[in-house]
Structure 1
Amino acid sequence: MKLSLTSGALLTVCGAMMLSAAGTASADELTDRINAGEPIRLGFATAVPWAYPGEGGEPLGFVNAIALVVLEEMGITNYETSVNEWAGLIPGLQANRYDIITGGMYILASRCENINFSDPIGLFGDAMLVPAGNPMGIHNYQDVITTGATLVTGAGFNTVEAAQREGVPDGQMMLVAGEVEILAAMNAGRADAAVQTFFGAQEHVERSEGRFEVTDPADMPGWTQNWVGIGMRHADTDFLEAFNAAMAEVIGGEAWMAAAAPYGYTEFQLPGDDASTEFACANR
């Protein structure tokens, strides 16, 4: 049976679950609710191939796929989904509209002030989406500055901070709601280049029928490579600990790769043995 989901609505997927960790009265609120049989609520924006809803409202994208593998390892198969605009994901989590963010969020110091992150699920870079042939020769933020180009990106994206850090003037920045609006701005010629995740830019190229191309992520500043984690409320520390313990058992394994590979995630995106959320929060 097909299930329907409109943006901001919830989809309940039934299944038996039991969170074995921290079943005591002193556990955090999320752990208590899950142990009481309530579904865990996944929050994400539409950002192909990271996370997006399917035709029936099911959670698609490699971050959702990875999160579900970890949750299953924890014994959790009962969940709901909430689809939101990117800029509203952290406020929505803080407002208790969902329990974890599975949208593919980079672990950044500014975000760590507001939410917790799981251990990293992967290492990723950004790139520029430019017209085919790259007529203005834009490969990075400095090229945007020197050419006077208009650069579009998503409000709340990490690329806003990155562009500001690289010195891109506000007058050359166009902020839109998310991935769909980025492509619309490029198609309409309102922007000369877009900056977004490499995966997101690749998806736009595939949809553009040859109108655009993606620059090499290696042309971007090295510090813009970022680790991605699953976002959680600061208060849900017991759940975070249990989630990280389960992830350590499955990361890079058969179930993990089988779930994420259809969306373009490969072993090259694995976070690395030395990756840590503590480091990312302090240095990104």
Structure 2
Amino acid sequence: MSEFPNLSRRGFLTRTATVGGLLTVPGLLAACSKTDNGSDSAGSKLDQLKEQGYVKVAYANEAPYGYEEDGQLKGEAPTLHREIFKALGVDELRPTFSEWNGLIPGLQAGKYDVISAGMAIIPDRCEKALFSEPEFISPTAMMVKKGNPKNLTDLASAKDAGVTIGVMSGAVEKSYATAAGISEGDIKTLQKPQDGADAVKSGRIDAFLLTSISLNWLAKNNSGLEVTEAFVPEIDGVKQYSPGGAVFRKGQEELRDAFNTQLKKITSDDERYVQLIGEYGFGKETIPPADLKTADLCKA
């Protein structure tokens, strides 16, 4: 896949799109009874998963976060979650595809146990479900022509150079650019990631601003371009990390906490983290800071 068909579903953009063409994997009915709030009514959920040997996960078919290719579930979230659940004694991920807007409702209805889609941790979602601690952050970067002829390193350097910046329609990156003092006239709106790459190639813009994760993935299929070192933009002095994580049903704190214990072992080991998900565009710059906590991110 060379594009991200619906980045808005991650919480990075506000517009929406549709992904289709994949069938739900069968055999995903809940195996245990639920109380009215969706929690498990008998025994430890982790013990149940160990006994059955698999965990039901939902993904949104969005590369590089969680997607299907050649009949295989791939991406950052499934790869990381597979490693974590194996450490917990659950050897198999059984996936089902869901449209982005249906992920949390499906979780609440007990159609699956975990959302494995790199979902952004934001307060309104925290009211409906339990998030793990951040498994990645999404620092920003710029896609430029090979050799970086304008010597761009961050938004301050872009402002000083007076370059033209491209952003996605409806994307938060426009607010990052304006907060850095870049004028509206120097910001061009594009409809999809490939449009940004094409605009840099043709010289219509000097740089395309997006998450480093998305740009590194995009660069795999666009020669003559490169991605600058990642940086974390600020708005009114607040760093914009855009973190994502796994999502569990309310009432499953024990399972979430067990997951977090194994997740911390990975995010505190730079080499292991990159070895696991580096092929999907994640690196040391996407490892969450130790003091970045979901409890704080969930506060309105």
Q: TM-score under structure 2 normalisation?
A: 0.63
Go from structure 1 to structure 2 and tell me whether the alpha carbon gap of 1:71 and 1:113 turns closer, same or farther (over 3 Å shift): same
Go from structure 1 to structure 2 and tell me whether the alpha carbon gap of 1:78 and 1:215 turns closer, same or farther (over 3 Å shift): closer
Aligned residues of 1:129 and 1:212 also touching (Cα < 8 A): yes
Partner of 1:176: 191
Q: Does 1:79 align with 2:94?
A: yes
Q: 1:216 aligns to what SS in structure 2?
A: coil
Q: 2:288 aligns to what SS in structure 1?
A: coil
Matched AA of 2:73:
P
Please report how far the alpha carbon of residue 219 of structure 1 lies from its aligned counterpart in structure 2 after TM superposition. 7.5
Q: Within 5 A, what are the aligned runs for 1:106-125?
A: 106-108=120-122, 112=126, 116-125=130-139
Q: Within 5 A, what are the aligned runs for 1:5-20?
A: 7=20, 9-12=22-25
Partner of 1:195: 209
Go from structure 1 to structure 2 and tell me whether the alpha carbon gap of 1:27 and 1:243 turns closer, same or farther (over 3 Å shift): farther
Partner of 2:252: 239
Please report how far the alpha carbon of residue 115 of structure 1 lies from its aligned counterpart in structure 2 after TM superposition. 6.0
For residues 106 and 167 of structure 1, the distance between their equivalents in structure 2, rounded to whole angstroms, comes to: 27
Please report how far the alpha carbon of residue 271 of structure 1 lies from its aligned counterpart in structure 2 after TM superposition. 3.0
Please report how far the alpha carbon of residue 128 of structure 1 lies from its aligned counterpart in structure 2 after TM superposition. 0.8
Go from structure 1 to structure 2 and tell me whether the alpha carbon gap of 1:74 and 1:191 turns closer, same or farther (over 3 Å shift): farther
Go from structure 1 to structure 2 and tell me whether the alpha carbon gap of 1:216 and 1:249 turns closer, same or farther (over 3 Å shift): closer
Partner of 2:69: 54
Matched AA of 1:276:
K
Partner of 1:64: 78
Q: 2:244 aligns to what SS in structure 1?
A: strand
Matched AA of 2:243:
W
For residues 182 and 147 of structure 2, the distance between their equivalents in structure 1, rounded to whole angstroms, comes to: 23
Please report how far the alpha carbon of residue 65 of structure 1 lies from its aligned counterpart in structure 2 after TM superposition. 0.9
Q: 1:66 aligns to what SS in structure 2?
A: helix
Q: 1:245 aligns to what SS in structure 2?
A: helix
Please report how far the alpha carbon of residue 266 of structure 1 lies from its aligned counterpart in structure 2 after TM superposition. 5.5
Please report how far the alpha carbon of residue 208 of structure 1 lies from its aligned counterpart in structure 2 after TM superposition. 2.2
Q: 1:208 aligns to what SS in structure 2?
A: coil
Name the stretch that deviates more: 267-276 or 194-203: 267-276
Matched AA of 2:23:
L
Go from structure 1 to structure 2 and tell me whether the alpha carbon gap of 1:158 and 1:118 turns closer, same or farther (over 3 Å shift): farther
Q: 1:207 aligns to what SS in structure 2?
A: coil
Go from structure 1 to structure 2 and tell me whether the alpha carbon gap of 1:151 and 1:181 turns closer, same or farther (over 3 Å shift): closer
Go from structure 1 to structure 2 and tell me whether the alpha carbon gap of 1:136 and 1:280 turns closer, same or farther (over 3 Å shift): same
Partner of 1:215: 228
Go from structure 1 to structure 2 and tell me whether the alpha carbon gap of 1:78 and 1:110 turns closer, same or farther (over 3 Å shift): closer
Partner of 1:3: none
Please report how far the alpha carbon of residue 118 of structure 1 lies from its aligned counterpart in structure 2 after TM superposition. 1.8
Aligned residues of 2:232 and 2:241 also touching (Cα < 8 A): no
Matched AA of 1:277:
T
Matched AA of 1:247:
N
Query: Residue by residue, what CA displacement relative to the aligned partner does 1:165-224 show, whole Å, maximum 9, x if unpaired?
Result: 5465666242434x4554355445554322222233223333322x11222224844813
Pairwise CA RMSD: 4.4
Aligned residues of 1:119 and 1:244 also touching (Cα < 8 A): no
For residues 191 and 110 of structure 1, the distance between their equivalents in structure 2, rounded to whole angstroms, comes to: 35
Q: Does 1:230 align with 2:246?
A: yes
Matched AA of 1:214:
V
Query: Residue by residue, what CA displacement relative to the aligned partner does 1:134-171 show, whole Å, maximum 9, x if unpaired?
Result: 3445443355556261412365x553553455465666
Partner of 1:153: 168
Q: 1:133 aligns to what SS in structure 2?
A: coil
Q: 1:183 aligns to what SS in structure 2?
A: helix
Please report how far the alpha carbon of residue 110 of structure 1 lies from its aligned counterpart in structure 2 after TM superposition. 6.9
Q: Does 1:40 align with 2:56?
A: yes
Q: 2:92 aligns to what SS in structure 1?
A: coil
Name the stretch that deviates more: 38-47 or 122-131: 38-47
Q: TM-score under structure 1 normalisation?
A: 0.66
For residues 175 and 123 of structure 2, the distance between their equivalents in structure 1, rounded to whole angstroms, comes to: 11
Question: Would you say how many aligned residue pairs link Structure 1 and Structure 2?
Answer: 259
Name the stretch that deviates more: 195-204 or 125-134: 195-204
1:93 to 103, 115, 123: 103
Aligned residues of 1:144 and 1:151 also touching (Cα < 8 A): no
For residues 81 and 196 of structure 2, the distance between their equivalents in structure 1, rounded to whole angstroms, comes to: 26
Query: Residue by residue, what CA displacement relative to the aligned partner does 1:105-143 show, whole Å, maximum 9, x if unpaired?
Result: 443457657765321113442111112233445443355
1:29 to 30, 35, 38: 38
Q: Within 5 A, what are the aligned runs for 1:229-268?
A: 229-231=245-247, 236-239=249-252, 241-253=254-266, 257=273, 259-263=276-280, 265=282
